[in-house]
Amino acid sequence: MLTNETFRNQAHQVVDWIADYLENIQQYPVKPSIAPGALRAALPDEAPQSGEAMDDIWKDFLNMIVPGITHWQHPGFMALFPSNASYPGILGEIAVSGLGINAMMWDTSPSATELEQTVMEWLRKATGLPDGMLGVIHDTASMSTLTAIISARERYAQFQVNQHGFHGYDKLVMYCTDQTHYSIEKGAKAAGIGAAQVKKIATDDAHAMIATALTKQIAEDKAAGLQPFMVVATLGTTSTLAFDPLEGIGNICVEHKLWLHVDAAYAGSAFFLNEYRHFLQGIDHADSYVFNAHKWLFTNFDCSCYFVKDANHLINTFSANPDYLKRTEESVAMFKDWGIPLGRRFRALKLWFVLRNYGISGIQELLRKHIDIATNFRNQLLSDTQWELMAPPVMNMFCVRYHPQGINDNEALNALNTALLKSINADGNYYLSGTIVKGMYMIRVVMGQTHLEQVHAEGLLALMRSSANSINDFKALR
Amino acid sequence: MLTNETFRNQAHQVVDWIADYLENIQQYPVKPSIAPGALRAALPDEAPQSGEAMDDIWKDFLNMIVPGITHWQHPGFMALFPSNASYPGILGEIAVSGLGINAMMWDTSPSATELEQTVMEWLRKATGLPDGMLGVIHDTASMSTLTAIISARERYAQFQVNQHGFHGYDKLVMYCTDQTHYSIEKGAKAAGIGAAQVKKIATDDAHAMIATALTKQIAEDKAAGLQPFMVVATLGTTSTLAFDPLEGIGNICVEHKLWLHVDAAYAGSAFFLNEYRHFLQGIDHADSYVFNAHKWLFTNFDCSCYFVKDANHLINTFSANPDYLKRTEESVAMFKDWGIPLGRRFRALKLWFVLRNYGISGIQELLRKHIDIATNFRNQLLSDTQWELMAPPVMNMFCVRYHPQGINDNEALNALNTALLKSINADGNYYLSGTIVKGMYMIRVVMGQTHLEQVHAEGLLALMRSSANSINDFKALR
């Protein structure tokens, strides 16, 4: 077993490997070519009886585990949304791994609680959120959203669902769109609302919620005796980065006393930039708001930043203080009461490292760099009119499909672009993902990896063009 | 901002600090003496505009953050339950911080999914869980339990709550005891069951559930038209490490078709030892089971191991596959569908490092060492009959109160022991916590920190004796 001395040596080896890995990450294919079940089959069926030397374990890590890794920190990772690490973020995680604390309450590490309060306030100011909103770090937007749904439910039900279940509240309905992240419906199921009570409001050509359609649906539902209690507005949807009209939705929520939750999981980082703050118009009406610093804010996963207008309501929804968790200080925040899990990682440290090492202006520069690279790339790609823009492009993401002249059948285009995406990803230097909106298959390009440079955009441009040509050739041959 | 080269240097500095920290951790008071709000007041109100040198940030970490840390890895941390790190566990976290992957689906890192399957199977075998149970790693037992409650709800309701809310299912009731961890009631609130529908079955003198009382309550509830759907049995309660009678409860669950969830969050690690497997008698009837490898299995937080009898039911409860998460491989596990969060840390790696570096026999030795130290300590402490055992002691934890001759008023004893605990903790070398069971205040001693040695027990024995004497002297003086 490791001693302090052998740990020290081994830890130096591991951090050297990390530095080498990140320096040379482009030598790996972004996505591994490994057969399902291959690793599992290669590993023993049982834990070893006797302890093994860390050197041997580390060799297996390099030879067995790394070849099956999808390299999220590869600058060619442009699929889904990024889950960005950064040098200061990694240092934060390393320090936390050594401290090994649990940030459940102020008592269980005062620094963890107070640093979390501090960095959440820094973020609130740096991204233009309203005065008075208070923040807490959850693991994922899925959990932040579930927290919001339960809080909204309890505000409507005056804490009676928490106490007695849904008696008298079984007609609750909430609103979003079919472009809202699937975790909202998943959260509504978990919270006992039911998927059928999550109503999908119609969207416009830009895939954003139509506020007048929301008004109409609420009126119909109230007339039918249903109990509207919540709207989820998305700033930057997952499929196409659509922005629901926050101000219009906010006014409706005020009128009908509905909880307004704002999901800015990805795009929220961009509110470091003044030029995107207009999307936040109406945020004063939000009861809760989430964005993930682990997506486009260079802070290692997990780090979901959840803000609420009324922290007392949040605490009243989730707090409980059993006898075995008596605390010495009544005056300080107990973040265990700000969400579901009792145990909590010390996530504030990595965020503090990132915000200080980059600084606000450093973050702004990096975000603008990504946006510039993506904008130039998009303009160059679309100069060939066979590439069709599928949604209004914004920030550093856009959706396209390849649409050669003469092919106008949607099914054929879907098949063509599915094959094209597969061909682009097969190259190994880039990983893009697709989506389907209103029956149309499209390729998403998200240019937001921490270490993205112009050269990566150039490589992708050549690859997308050549892949499209090959598809054409292949079709011509048939 | 950090470059690859400056990161490398800084990372070496950080891991050297970790090795030094763990080597010298006994120089710190286990709990810091910091005034609430002091750190917050000392930190700037806003994030810096310009980036700062990592060296300066690191100095602030050492000078401002570390003095406000509660040192969970200090061998004198005997409060609550441990949240143990270990050398291989730290190495695992460090490697993961560099990889920066998100283990949501097989596609997003095949190795992460398959290693998680593998180590969960290793744990199942090593701790004597039934063949066929499958495992997944969640963050905390709170989340594992919420997952269980929702799964149980949906099995009873045939997925109708997920789809339509609680119509027709608003009389669900579940059972535990007043010694069950508070996260069960919290989860029941979140899932829409309601706190009042979580019925607390009477406990015996050992603070364990009385199975016949459960039978009686179920009969009464069914007669009253309620809908019993779930029992939570605890193996090792938080206050006193009481063990509910699993076999008896399991038979009742089978008879009434109730979901049986078993919470072994802390004590589950001890099932590496054959001599404690008798507590698992009846586990065949469990639908779900949780234990936390981050408590007494030397695996850095967070690592909550959740096992289910029927993985298909779990997946049917939580799965959803939106268009933007299309996967290439249908045949492999998508752990995003095994719980609530979409994003998931790569937690299997640290567990793999721990299980291999210690080996099964190494873990067994360390657990037995803790148990031996605790048993000897307890026997020595109780040789003075003024110390009163408050619950049947088991494994490496027990509850006592100081009960000097002549004081028989319970309130006076509670006040005395509250003061005594404060006095013990004020020494700075140990951190114990208290609890209240059936109105009686007691001091919990949990001897399970990774680096615990006999010498730490000796120090605590002297401290508890001298603190008790001081309390006596103080009383005599008055």
Co-location of B123 and B169 in the same domain: yes
A186·B332 Cβ contact <8 A: no
Q: Are residues A175 and A277 in the same domain?
A: yes
Domain that includes residue A442, residue range: 363-477
Q: What pLDDT does B321 receive?
A: 76
Domain count, chain B: 3
Q: Is A97 close to B93, i.e. CB distance below 8 A? A: yes
Give contacts of A107 with chain B, Cβ < 8 Å. 31, 70
pLDDT recorded at residue B320: 83
Query: Among A291, A318, A345, which residue terminates a domain?
Result: A345
Q: What pLDDT does B331 receive?
A: 64
Within this chain, do residues B17 and B43 fall inside the same structural domain, yes or no? no
Flag residues of chain B having pLDDT under 70: 326-331, 473-478
**Chain B residues close to A14, C-beta within 8 Å:** 15, 91, 94-95, 98
- Residues in chain A with CB shorter than 8 Å from the CB of B140 are 341-343
Mode of pairing for the β-strands spanning A433-437 and A440-446: antiparallel
Question: Do the Cβ atoms of A87 and B7 come within 8 Å?
Answer: yes
Preceding peptide of A139 cis, ω within 30°: no
Q: In the prediction, which pLDDT does B327 show?
A: 60
pLDDT at B471: 83
A287 domain-assigned:
yes
Are A342 and B167 an interchain contact pair (Cβ–Cβ within 8 Å)? no
**What is the pLDDT at residue B441?**
97
How confident is the model at residue A328, as a pLDDT?
58
Q: Decide if B332 and A36 are in contact by the 8 Å CB cutoff.
A: yes
Residue B92 lies in a domain: no
In terms of pTM, does the model score above 0.90?
Answer: yes
Q: Which residues contact B84 (CB under 8 A, 6 or more apart)?
A: A100, B72, B73, B294, B295, B296, B297, B298, B299, B300, B448, B449, B450
Based on the domain organization, do B179 and B318 belong to the same domain?
Answer: yes
Domain assignment of residue B96, yes or no = no
Instruction: State residue A327's pLDDT score.
Output: 60
Both A340 and A372 in one domain: the answer is no
Is the residue at B193 inside a domain?
yes
DSSP at A107? T
Structure tokens at A117: 């309060």
Both A168 and A269 in one domain: the answer is: yes
Q: Are strands B397-402 and B440-446 parallel, antiparallel or unpaired?
A: antiparallel
Same-domain check for residues A243 and A386:
no
The verdict on a CB contact (< 8 Å) between A143 and B340 is yes
For residue B351, being part of any structural domain is answered with: no
pLDDT at A464: 98
Measure in Å the smallest separation between the Cα of B31 and chain A Cα atoms: 8
- The CATH number of the domain holding residue B74 is 3.90.1150.170
Last residue within a domain, chosen from A76, A111, A128: A76
Q: Specify if A351 maps to a domain.
A: no
Same domain, A105 and A247: yes
Q: In chain B, what residues touch A323 (CB-CB under 8 Å)?
A: 239, 435-437
List CB contacts of B262: < 8 A, sequence separation 6 or more. Answer: B232, B233, B234, B235, B246, B283, B286, B288, B289, B290
**Cβ contacts (< 8 Å) between A318 and chain B: which residues?**
186
The per-residue pLDDT for B419 is: 95
What CATH number is associated with residue A48?
A: 1.20.1340.10
Nearest in space to A156 (alpha carbons), one of A232, A249, A258: A258
CB distance A82 to B382 below 8 Å: no
Cβ neighbours of A295 in B, within 8 Å = none
CB atoms within 10 A of CB B179: 25
- Of A345, A371, A406, which closes a domain? A345
Nearest CA to CA, how far is A288 from chain B (Å)? Answer: 17
Chain A hits for B126, CB-CB cut-off 8 Å, are 46-47
* Burial class (CB within 10 angstroms; exposed 0-12, middle 13-18, buried 19+) of A439: exposed
The shortest C-alpha distance from B199 to chain A (Å) reads 12
> The CATH number of the domain where B153 resides is what?
3.40.640.10
Residues B53 and B76 in one domain: no
The pLDDT assigned to B329 comes to 56
Task: Please say whether the beta carbons of A194 and B162 come within 8 A.
Answer: yes
Q: What is the pLDDT along chain A (478 residues), one digit of tens a residue?
A: 899 999 999 999 999 999 999 999 999 999 998 999 999 999 999 999 999 999 999 999 999 999 999 999 999 999 999 999 999 999 999 999 999 999 999 989 999 999 999 999 999 999 999 999 999 999 999 999 999 999 999 999 999 999 999 999 989 999 999 999 999 999 999 999 999 999 999 999 999 999 999 999 999 999 999 999 999 999 999 999 999 999 999 999 999 999 999 999 999 999 999 999 999 999 999 999 999 999 999 999 999 999 999 999 999 999 987 777 766 555 678 999 999 999 999 999 999 999 999 999 999 999 999 999 999 999 999 999 999 999 999 999 999 999 998 898 999 999 999 999 999 999 999 999 999 999 999 999 999 999 999 999 999 999 999 999 998 765 654 4
Of A47, A142, A362, the CB nearest to B342: A142
Give the gap in angstroms from C-alpha A474 to the nearest C-alpha of chain B.
Answer: 23
| Chain-chain contact of A94 with B18 (C-beta, under 8 angstroms) | yes
**Residue A89 within any structural domain of the chain:** no
Q: Is the distance from CB of A318 to CB of A337 less than 8 angstroms?
A: yes
Is A94 inside any structural domain? no
Residues A142 and A203 in one domain: yes
Cβ pair B51:A362 closer than 8 A: yes
Q: Which residues of B touch A397 (CB under 8 A)?
A: none
Yes or no, beta carbons of A8 and B15 under 8 Å apart: yes
Beta-carbon neighbour count of residue B383 at 10 Å?
8
Same domain for A410 and A464, yes or no, is yes
Give per-residue burial for A447-470: e unless 16+ CB within 10 Å, then b: bbbbbbeeebbebbeebbbebbee
Of B77, B79, B169, give the one whose Cα is nearest residue A99: B77
- Please name the amino acid found at residue A455: V
Residues B179 and B297 reside in one and the same domain: yes
Q: Report CB contact under 8 Å: B109, A69.
A: yes
